[in-house]
Amino acid sequence: MSEATNTTTKKKGMSARELTTLGLLTGILLLMSFTPLGYFHTFGLDISLMMIPVGIGAMLMGPKAGTWLGFIFGATSFYQSMTGSSPFSTMLFNINPFYTFLLCIPTRMLMGFLTGVIFKVVQKVDRKKTACFFVGGFFAAFLNTLFFMSVLIICYWNTEFIQGINETLGNLNPLPFVVAFVGVNGALEMPASCIVGGVVSKAVSRTLYKKVV
């Protein structure tokens, strides 16, 4: 098969290796969604590491793969809000199911897409092709928190539920509330996503995809 044909084939869709990787990461997300590795449920925000496979897929296969994996992440989160598995998101679902859908699914899809975009941009200026993986891992968690909390404030800020939580924090304005409310979650999720996502995606890229020398 000629080089031109290879190029055309790549443009038409993902390679068999990429489809296999995407399927594996999808399975990992579904498995994690039923274990504490995916969601550690609390009475506040759930602590989650689901963004790590999303970030890995976005870095290895691009924004489209990140969008799909973000959808799987969001769909499992929305499912848990409907079934009562997550006390916090279930309360939000009972207040307004459509807002909860927006909170869970589009935010995670956008996170996956933008993680892939950011990775590609940073990769172009990263001469050693190493830092870009850790930057991508960090942004997977950062964007997940940013988009989730932004939609939460826009859609639920004036509800009795959120204002009740805010009262326990000292009746803060939205921005200080977000910082105080994210707290432990951000301190755990962002470093974990940066380190684990960076190490795994770098290793897989070198061994399977051979995109990095």
Is 119:197 a contact under the CB 8 Å cutoff? no
pLDDT of the residue at 125? 95
- 209: confidence class by pLDDT, cuts 50, 70, 90: low
Element (H, E) at 67: helix 63-83
Burial of 197 (0-12, 13-18, 19+ CB in 10 A): buried
Contacts of 187 (CB under 8 A, 6+ apart): none
Per residue in 121-130, is it b (16+ CB within 10 Å) or e — as a string? ebbeebeebe
Q: How far is CA 210 from the centre of its chain?
A: 25
- pLDDT tens per residue across span 85-98: 888 999 999 999 99
- 4: confidence class by pLDDT, cuts 50, 70, 90: very low
Looking from the CA of 170 toward its CB, the CA atoms found within 13 Å total 8
Secondary structure (3-state) at 211: coil
Q: What is the pTM of this model?
A: 0.88
- pLDDT tens per residue across span 5-57: 444 444 457 788 889 999 999 999 999 998 877 888 666 777 789 999 999 99
Q: How far is CA 154 from the centre of its chain?
A: 20
